[in-house]
Structure 1
Amino acid sequence: MIRKIALAIGVSTLALTATACNTVKGFGQDVESVGEAGEEAID
């Protein structure tokens, strides 16, 4: 029983970590996009 609970917690943690990684990657792309738009506006 404890083994199943530990496995469930491990899988949940892995899923949340993967989701957070994608969110951070998307945020980085958004910041990069804003920077490029700012450069174009200045030129």
Structure 2
Amino acid sequence: MTRLIALLLLAGTAMLAAGCNTMAGAGEDISKGGNAITNSAEKAK
């Protein structure tokens, strides 16, 4: 079971990296998502 979870996480990471073309691109995408959540939370205060 642990191997299956590890395999799925690895596959998901590979898909994310391939979709963004680079790991730097993945980091930028994740950062933008975090900023959007932060901005929404600030507006909701």
- TM-score, with length taken from structure 2: 0.53
The number of aligned residues is: 26
Tell me the CA shift for residue 23 of structure 1.
0.1
Greater per-residue helix proportion: 1
Alpha-carbon deviations, 1:1-43, whole Å to 9, x = none? Answer: xxxxxxxxxxxxxxxx8x6100000000000000000000000
> Residue 14 of structure 1 corresponds to which residue in structure 2?
none
**Structure 2 stretches of 5 or more lacking a match?**
1-17
Question: Is the radius of gyration larger for structure 1 or structure 2?
Answer: 1
Structure 1 runs (4+) deviating above 6 angstroms are: none
Highest relative contact order (Cα 8 Å, sep 6+), 1 or 2? 2
> Residue 8 of structure 2 corresponds to which residue in structure 1?
none
**Structure 1 stretches of 5 or more lacking a match?**
1-16
